[in-house]
Amino acid sequence: AQTVTQSQPEMSVQEAETVTLSCTYDTSENNYYLFWYKQPPSRQMILVIRQEAYKQQNATENRFSVNFQKAAKSFSLKISDSQLGDTAMYFCAFMKFNTDKLIFGTGTRLQVFP
């Protein structure tokens, strides 16, 4: 069975600074997808970024980028130029290839302060 671990329950960062959220996972699969989702106080799940395991290049989306280390089974999220609106819970998630079933980590609560 796949597991996803987020070792940082809470993180804080000052506005405009950079923060990195950690995620590790365990799987015997070779083909899979990894995601970072943001859940603001509204509880709406918002996709931040997605990575295909077969791609070596790290995914980037504007201020968000990942450091994907397949051998180490690590998938960290870097948020650059943090904004107050980035304050939210962040969930790392794993999806086995050819399924749509997401396995979530326990989440990291990020607080961006002025």
Partner 1 sequence: GAVVSQHPSRVICKSGTSVKIECRSLDFQATTMFWYRQFPKQSLMLMATSNEGSKATYEQGVEKDKFLINHASLTLSTLTVTSAHPEDSSFYICSAARDRGGTPLHFGNGTRLTVT
Using CB under 8 A as the criterion, which residues of the chain lie in contact with partner 1 when the complex forms? 33, 35, 42-45, 47, 50, 52, 91, 95, 97-98, 100-107, 109
Nearer to partner 1, 52 or 65 (CB): 52
Contact 35, 93 (CB under 8 A): yes
**CA 7 to chain centroid:** 12
SS3 22: coil
Nearer to partner 1, 50 or 63 (CB): 50
Nearer to partner 1, 1 or 114 (CB): 1
Contact 103, 2 (CB under 8 A): yes
Whole-number minimum distance, CB 79 to partner 1, in Å? 19
